[in-house]
Structures are given as C-alpha cells and as structure tokens.
Amino acid sequence: MEMRKKFTIFTSTFVSIAYALTKNHHRKLVLKEFKEPFVSLFLCTMGDLITGIVMGVFISNLKMLPALIVLIPGAIGMRGNIFATLGSRLGTYLHTGQIQPNFKPGKILNQNISSSTVLTLLTSFYLGILAALIAKAIGLKVSILDLLLISVIAGLLSAVIMLLFSMLIAFFTYKHGWDPDNVTAPMITLIGDMVTLPLLFLSLNVVIKLGDMIKISLLLSFIILTLLTIPYSLSDKAKPYYRRIMRESTPVLLACGFLGILSGTILGGKVEGLIAIPGILIMIPPFLEDGGAMGGILAARLSSALHLGAIKYEKKIPEEVLRLFLMLHILGLIIFTLIGGFAYLVSKTFGITTLPLHMMIIVSIIAGEILILIVNIITYNISIISFKKGIDPDNVTIPIITSVMDIMGVACLVLVLMLMRII
C-alpha cells in the first residue's frame, strides 16, 4: 500500500507538471526547451545511424580482430566523456562570462584544450590494455600490441577533430541565442560517434598491415609521450584550470572507461547472436548515444543551474527538475521510435538482416524508457552530491552518466531482446 501511495503521488506530480506546461505563459519557454534538445537529439540519431551503418557494413572486419568489439563501446563512450565534458565546461564559462564565444587564445581555453588532449592519450592506452585483457579472459582472439596501437592512433586522430567541433558547437549556439547546455552534449556525442568508429576500423586496417618492428617502435613512442605528461599533470606547477580538470577528471574517466569496456564485454558475450541479426547492431550506436546524450543534456542543465543558484539540494526533488525528467521521457518516446524505425529502413536499404519494423520499434521504446528512468535518477543525484562536496559537476557528471548509460543501455537492450527471445 505504501509503495502504491508513493507511486500515486509521484504520478500525480508529473501529471500536474504536464498540465502546467500547457498553460499559455509557459508555452513559449516549454517549446524552446523542447525544441533545442529535440533538434540536437534528432541530428544525433541521424549521425549515429551512420555509425550503425559502419558497424553493420564493416562487421566482417571484426573477424580479423574479434576483440575490437570489446573496445568499441568504451572508445566511443570515452570520446563523448572527454569532449562533451569540455563542451559542458565551455557552456558554463560562457554563461558566467569567463570566456567569450570566439577562438581567441586565453588561459582558460588553452588549458581546457591541453587537458582534453592529454586525457585522450591516457585513456586510449588504458582502454586498449583493459579491452585486451578482458577479451582474452572471455576467449576472444586478441593481439595486445595491435589493440593498443588501434586504440591510441584512433584516439589521437579523433582528438584533433573533436577539439575543433566542441568549440565550434559551444560558440556557435551561444552566439545565436541557443543554450549550449541543450546542444553541446548530444552534438559533441554525435561527432564523437561518427568519427570514432570509422577511425577504429581505419586504424585496424593500417595496424594489421604493419610489421612487428614498426608496431613496437610506434608503441614505444606513444608510451614515452604519455609518460612525459603524467608528472606535470599531477604537480602543483601545472596551471590551475588544467590541474583541476586533470585531477578531477582522470579518476572518473578511468572508472567510466572500465564501465565502457564492460558494456563491450556484454556485446562480446552475445557477438554470435548479434552478428546473425546485424540490423540490431545498426540500432546500438544511436540507442546508446541518445541515452547518454539525454543524460548529458540533463547533467549540463543541472550543473549550470547549480552554479547560478537556480536550484538547491532538497530532500524533495524540485518541480523544475521533475519537469526536466518529464521532458526527457516525452523526448524518449519520439527519439526511440525514430531509432527503431530508421534502423529498420537503413537495414532494408542496405540489404542487412533485421527484425520486423514493429519489433524494432517495440524493443527500442521499451529499453529506451527504462534507460531514461535510470538516467534521471542517477544524473540528479550525482550532480547534487558532487556540487555539495565542492567538485565541479561539469568535470564529473557527464563522464559518469555517459559511461553508466553505455553499460546500462547495452544491458537494457540485451535484456529486452533476451526476454523477447530474439537472441
């Protein structure tokens, strides 16, 4: 009875908020708040379908190095973690007037660029080692040397592209009157998805053809470069923004990388069933990244609100936050329907084996709405707790959310597929 009472109160609160949103004086604001994330998530879905096509078309390449499937979710997620976090910080700096929306060099911008580059290098090594060890443990064919080089080369190449787009998106949206918090996380995630997977397959094809001596020489060069950055990153001589970003972000990114590799492990364990229905693989990138992007939107909005004093910690979740939760669930119904439908159409267009249209949509919506519920609860609590402890939510919330969403998204999707006896 107590549980039913709580559920009734929770439901009635959401219904009252939904009704309030229809009032005339709220409509303009609501439409703006709904339109901006919807546009960015829609574009994110379209871009992620390109990633899904790459996954479906080049799935045969995994036969050269099956362990790569373990690395893929972690590598894609890490690009979003590092650079969506950069975008979130830029949004906060713009809101608080610490930077202007231009590329003029300055200590804040320079230190954010250098820290993001170093974090990419460190985490690429970390993910490569972790993926190789776990792939070997679950019985997949693996070459540690090859997987390390693929991870680092793809990471460095993607960092150049991601830095440019992260700044472009934050500055462009702010200049044109959009709230960067509504746009940076999904759009940067989109670019990360579109860039990372092709670069991983490109790196795979390059590395496989190299001789052992060249591979070892390249790896040693990357190791030396990485080791040179560590002492400075940890020292008090490091510049303040750089030092804070490195000290707060590194432990979180390492933990998130582990979660990303675990999601790859779940895929690795079901690799035969997934390869048999490649249409599902096309759905996975947009499903995971839209889930993470929604968490990123919520995290960025909460972070800015906390910095500006618009919301404070309360035992009862503020109505403003509940409104954001509701908005994400409504967005989810639309976005996850599109994901299932578009994945089906793409599969049919390219002659890829897939599920019937209604099954693709049902699987996507059920798994997606479960995922959004998890997103809302975790994002709110991490944002509030980190802010209370004096840690900048911009540095920790998005990496944690996107990584948790990777493993939870894969788990939700695989669970629904198993319950429906599809795999």
Give the residue, 259 or 35, on which the prediction is more confident: 259
Extract the tokens encoding 161. Answer: 């592209």
Prediction pTM value? 0.68
Radius of gyration for the alpha carbons in the chain, expressed in angstroms and rounded:
21
Q: Please give the span between the terminal C-alpha atoms of the chain, in angstroms, as a whole number.
A: 37
What are the CB-based long-range contacts (under 8 Å, 24+) for 19-23? 21/323, 21/326
- Residue 57 CB: number of other CB atoms within 10 A? 15
Say what the pLDDT of residue 157 is.
93
pLDDT band at 272, cuts 50/70/90? Answer: low
Q: Is the dihedral of CA 221, 227, 230, 231 positive or negative?
A: negative
Query: For residue 7, is it within any domain?
Result: no
Say what the pLDDT of residue 360 is.
93
Q: Is the model's pLDDT at 285 over the cut of 90?
A: no
Contacts of 325 (CB under 8 A, 6+ apart): 14, 298, 376
**Spatial separation of the C-alpha atoms in residues 291 and 288, rounded to whole Å:** 5
Query: For residue 1, is it within any domain?
Result: no
Of the segments 21-30, 199-208, 313-322, which one has the largest average pLDDT value?
Answer: 199-208
Give the residue, 196 or 80, on which the prediction is more confident: 196
Q: How many residues does the chain have?
A: 423
**Spatial separation of the C-alpha atoms in residues 405 and 399, rounded to whole Å:** 10
* Best CA proximity match to 38, nearest among 334, 402, 405: 334
Task: Give mean pLDDT, residues 222-247.
Answer: 76
Report the mean per-residue pLDDT for the chain. Answer: 80
Task: Give mean pLDDT, residues 139-143.
Answer: 82
pLDDT band at 21, cuts 50/70/90? Answer: very low
Task: Give mean pLDDT, residues 371-389.
Answer: 87
Contacts of 292 (CB under 8 A, 6+ apart): 77, 80, 189, 401, 402, 405, 406, 409
Query: Locate tokens 């048999």: which residue?
Result: 276
Query: For residue 159, is it within any domain?
Result: yes
Query: For residue 158, is it within any domain?
Result: yes
- Amino acid type, 308: L
Dihedrals φ, ψ of 89, to 5°? -65, -45
Query: For residue 3, is it within any domain?
Result: no
**Spatial separation of the C-alpha atoms in residues 237 and 306, rounded to whole Å:** 30
Least confident of 3-17, 82-96, 119-133, 368-382: 3-17
Query: For residue 5, is it within any domain?
Result: no
Is 293 strand, coil or helix?
helix
Query: For residue 156, is it within any domain?
Result: yes
Q: Do 422 and 359 form a contact (C-beta atoms < 8 A)?
A: yes
Task: Give mean pLDDT, residues 322-336.
Answer: 87
C-alpha distances (whole Å) from 19 to each of 16, 130, 198, 269 are 5, 49, 45, 45
Query: For residue 169, is it within any domain?
Result: yes
- Domain carrying residue 44: 14-419
**Spatial separation of the C-alpha atoms in residues 108 and 121, rounded to whole Å:** 20
CA 262 to chain centre: 15
The count of structural domains within the chain is 1
